[in-house]
A and B are shown apart, each in its own frame.
Chain A
Amino acid sequence: MGIQGCFFDIKRYAIHDGPGIRISVFFKGCPLSCRWCHNPESQDPVPQVMFDPLRCIGCGACRGHTIPDLCPSTALEVCGWKMDTGQIMQIVLKERLFFERSGGGVTFTGGEPLMQPEILAELLEACRGNGIHTALDSSLWAPAHIVKKIIPLTGLVLADIKVMDPAKHKYYTGVDNALIHSNLMAVARSGVPFALRIPLVRGINDSGRETEDLIAFALRLRDAGNLTCIHLLPFHPYGKNKASGLISGKIPASGDFSAPAAHAVDSLLIKMLSMGFNVVKGG
């Protein structure tokens, strides 16, 4: 058995995470702690126990145990499991016919895949060896040497830009964005095609200075490299219920955020379109 990674989901027929029919592999663990995170169970890099009181039938099967496998209703469940490259590839290869038919492939997402660079590199190489297209969905908050090593291995980068203002970025995500920006520029210069994914949250990054800076940065990135598309992802307030299910490990705090106004999204969309960007609303 090779190196193991920690993952929290594998989704087949993922049709909104890159070109074609894809399989999305979700890495568990993220260096950011975005206050609006809609996958709070993705943040802690180790398996966690989740409990859903609505599913619990009070049968007592868990009494005296800590192994959620005994729970008949799956009210008590472990989120996250360890797998190695061989095990992941076994599932990935099952979808090969659909990748070929649709021009799809694998999307590595999370959490933050770059937090587990060894197994990520192994997986990207295994896919390349099998002629399978790969996409890396990342915050790009990772040491520059890791980014430099990983990027040439992937077919497409889906890079998130959360907030432009450095202080706000630090406040809302827990990390500085200078590293992210320099890594993004490195991605652009690498020549690997990349797309930007912008989660838009009302009052935080959906208007004014934020969007102006965003456009300026996007222009620089476009000049530097192969920017294929910008995805505007209006925030949706649905992560909260999930967070309340975590009962072990890191339990992220959650704030109150709301979806951006439709006109704010549309005006940004139109502005970007007018500047010749390929922009779409949604994944």
Chain B
Amino acid sequence: MANPMKIRAANKDGVTEVKVLISHEMETGQRKDAAGALVPAWFITELTAKHNDKLVLSSEFGPSVSKNPYLAFRFKGGAKGDKIIVSWKDNKGDSRTDEAAIG
């Protein structure tokens, strides 16, 4: 099971800004290890974010995204105390969901 994401969300003037720090290896599948063998690809393929039950962000990630990626986005609406739920799936079938309240 992967490490939890760090999520912060804040509403200002009717716009909610969400910042997420994801903990993931994001291995491209192009690198070789010390013995010269390819390191198998291991990266997030899909990431979604919900505001309470409503989908506000849906994205496809790929091997070009860095290790432990940082993601920030904004959407209109949201109020203090609302839930922000972020989930990802990776190419090995692992997934993780974390949530935070808008502060």
Interaction A to B: no
Chain B residues with a Cβ under 8 A of chain A:
none
Chain A residues with a Cβ under 8 A of chain B:
none
